[in-house]
A and B are shown apart, each in its own frame.
Chain A
Amino acid sequence: MSGLSTTTQNPKAPHPLAEFWGYFSANRGAMLGLGLLIILLIVMLGAGFLAPHLPAEQYRDALRMPPVWIDGGSWRFILGTDDIGRDILSRIMHGAQVSMSVGGMVVLLAIVLGITLGLIAGFSPGIVDTTLMRIMDILLALPGLLMALVIVAILGPSLSNAAIAIVIVQLPHFVRLTRASVINERTKDYVTASIVSGARRPRLMVITVLPNCLAPLIVQGTLSVSNAILDLAALGFLGLGAQPPTPEWGTMLANALQFIQSDWWIVTFPGLAILITVVAFNLLGDGLRDALDPKLKR
């Protein structure tokens, strides 16, 4: 390729990654999202030694203590303590591990399953494709949270069941997206060339076509992490996800309504953590879309 560009005396095309970074880093929102995400990752990975207390440790001498900047607060508990004397900051930091790792894993699983089913559907028109897509339509017939509720109602409330429910809820989006890109790519010349040179179906699917379908999947994947975290927190809040004393952000808010009259900090901070994380992933996803979408680059 580089030989070609020197003979035609064109300036050397930048490496695709460098080009991508050029577009991405020019987007202030995306960089903010990336920065937030890096901080969140540090908090998540370092919660074990960064957090001042253990997430389940109860200080009987410090029940419902306000944050440090309020009268009666202390540096021992920077964001205050909850109704049974647990440090809210430490619980939020450990909660990052639960929310972000489960959210990330859920999306990863949905992407892998979705790509597999999408490739199968895109490469086998007819009965297989139709059946698969009708099943996906059924899964999309209910709003995500309600579908997740139904699945949890079948499996029983727990963090792992909530995660399974969210994988099932997110799956159809990835199947549809993969299938649409596959169908779009399948008729292109490079695929025909590959078929003519004798590539078999698995090679065609994974090595020839899939890499060209990845851009929208990466964008959808990033945006889906934020949905997964929100749904996970909502299920936790409704008492159908992670169970106490797991420091999951939504579960931490499950009993918050009873403290709303007196102890606002118990209500405020876990939700703020959810919001910041979701904003970070959404900004990142928007930035990736702008940087990866060739239509917007022109």
Chain B
Amino acid sequence: MLTYLLKKLGMIVPTFFGVTILAFLLPRLVPGDPIELMVGERGMSPERHAELLARLGLDRPWHEQYLSYISDVLSGDLGTSIVTREPVLSEFLTLFPATIELSLCAIILALGIGIPVGILAAVKRGTLFDYLTMGISVTGYSMPIFWWALLLILMFSVGLGWTPVSGRLSAMYWIDATTGFMLIDTLLSDEKGDFISAVRHLILPSIALATIPLAVIARMTRSSMLEVLGEDYIRTARAKGLTPFRVIGLHALRNALIPVITVIGLAVGTLLAGAILTETIFAWPGIGKWIIESVHRRDYPSIQGGILLVACIIIIVNLSVDLLYGLINPRIRHGR
């Protein structure tokens, strides 16, 4: 297991440095004066320009600039936003819980519905239920989620008035951000009805964000289950006279879920990309909306820090999934 771990770690280090190169190059590739881009001032006097050039180190050779950028990054300094003048890292950390909360709800929704539906579709292969769910699933993973989010608002907020249109909490409540997770913070506070309000705000964005992972998980569970159901040990289990529930729930499911774990790992990327669109539409104050706003405001230090942090999250999640995978399936660990 240790060699497996080291091998995986060895693979992510070059990727991490690759992403830092990408982030480093970003403001330097944009046409225009990098000083103006990074500081956000226009019409600077030549003295001010020269002073900033020296202060940002942009007059030094590229490899020195990169080395100083890397040492800043490794010590946790990701620069300062040119719009809010706040450190990029602290802005990110303030907004990140909102994205985690939304993504967690979405993935729970996707797993909670996707796995049972996938199993049922496999067991009832060739029936109307199977065709119907697979048809819905193709539609689900083809969905332009920004449009789907608009439709959900149209139906449930505008049409039926069941859920609020945007935000994380009704404006009548004021909650201290103890943990940054609205569901927990509202439970901790004494205000009446605030938890319900937080839940109601969370429903539509979670559905919108969960749609694509849900469709993928349902398909994956179905095909993986079908594969396992054809195995000899399943026939043996059936021949022994075990109840169908035991055969499927205990014998088949364990092996069928292994590929699904990989899909969950891949879903993190889908969720973070989806968060960009979902958060923008529902005015959800998370990192997806923040990155889009940074792109629109041409706030390059924030974009730079944002992509680096998002890439790190994805790298770490993929590493954990790989390790989990190796833990569950010894064939991978000892495999080629």
Is A219 positioned at the interface, with any CB of B under 8 Å from its CB?
A: no
Given contacts A150-B307, A239-B296, A257-B281, contact A283 B138 (CB under 8 A): yes
Please give, as numbers and ranges, the residues of chain B lying within 8 Å of A237 by CB-CB distance: 144, 146-147, 277
B151 and A146 within 8 A (CB): no
Binds B, one of A10-18, A68-76, A264-272: A264-272
Q: Mark B146-176, 1 if CB is under 8 A from A, else 0.
A: 1110110110001000000000000000000
CB-contacts of B1-33 with A (<8 A)? 14-15, 18-19, 21-22, 26, 29-31
A135 and B143 within 8 A (CB): no
Given contacts A149-B295, A154-B30, contact A138 B18 (CB under 8 A): yes
Please give, as numbers and ranges, the residues of chain B lying within 8 Å of A135 by CB-CB distance: 18
Cβ 8 A contact of B292, one of A143, A149, A268, A274:
A149
Is B87 positioned at the interface, with any CB of A under 8 Å from its CB?
A: no
**CA of A267 to CA of B151 in the docked complex: distance in angstroms?**
8
Number of interface residues of B (CB under 8 A): 44
B295 and A152 within 8 A (CB): yes
Is B310 positioned at the interface, with any CB of A under 8 Å from its CB?
A: yes
**CA of A219 to CA of B291 in the docked complex: distance in angstroms?**
33
Please give, as numbers and ranges, the residues of chain B lying within 8 Å of A271 by CB-CB distance: 144, 147-148, 150-151
Q: Mark B272-309, 1 if CB is under 8 A from A, else 0.
A: 11001100110000000001100110101001000100
Is B65 positioned at the interface, with any CB of A under 8 Å from its CB?
A: no
A143 and B270 within 8 A (CB): yes
Is A45 positioned at the interface, with any CB of B under 8 Å from its CB?
A: no
A240 and B19 within 8 A (CB): no
CB-contacts of A141-180 with B (<8 A)? 141-146, 149-150, 152-154, 156
Q: Which residue of chain B has its CB nearest to the CB of A264?
A: B154
Please give, as numbers and ranges, the residues of chain B lying within 8 Å of A34 by CB-CB distance: none
Cβ 8 A contact of A141, one of B291, B296, B298, B311:
B311
A interface majority secondary structure:
helix
Chain A min CB distance to B275 (Å): 9
Chain B min CB distance to A209 (Å): 23
**CA of A234 to CA of B144 in the docked complex: distance in angstroms?**
8
Please give, as numbers and ranges, the residues of chain A lying within 8 Å of B148 by CB-CB distance: 271
Number of interface residues of A (CB under 8 A): 43
Chain A min CB distance to B130 (Å): 12
Chain A min CB distance to B8 (Å): 13
Please give, as numbers and ranges, the residues of chain B lying within 8 Å of A138 by CB-CB distance: 15, 18-19, 21-22
Please give, as numbers and ranges, the residues of chain B lying within 8 Å of A100 by CB-CB distance: none
Please give, as numbers and ranges, the residues of chain A lying within 8 Å of B147 by CB-CB distance: 237, 253, 267, 270-271, 274-275
**CA of A278 to CA of B212 in the docked complex: distance in angstroms?**
13
**CA of A144 to CA of B273 in the docked complex: distance in angstroms?**
7
Chain B min CB distance to A117 (Å): 16
Please give the residue numbers on chain A whose beta carbons come within 8 Å of chain B beta carbons, in ascending order: 29, 134-135, 137-138, 141-146, 149-150, 152-154, 156, 226, 230, 233-234, 237-240, 250, 253, 256-257, 260-261, 264, 267-268, 270-271, 274-275, 278-279, 282-283, 286
What are 11 inter-chain pairs, A to B, with CB distance below 8 A? A142-B311, A146-B310, A150-B22, A154-B29, A233-B144, A237-B277, A250-B144, A257-B150, A260-B158, A268-B151, A282-B141
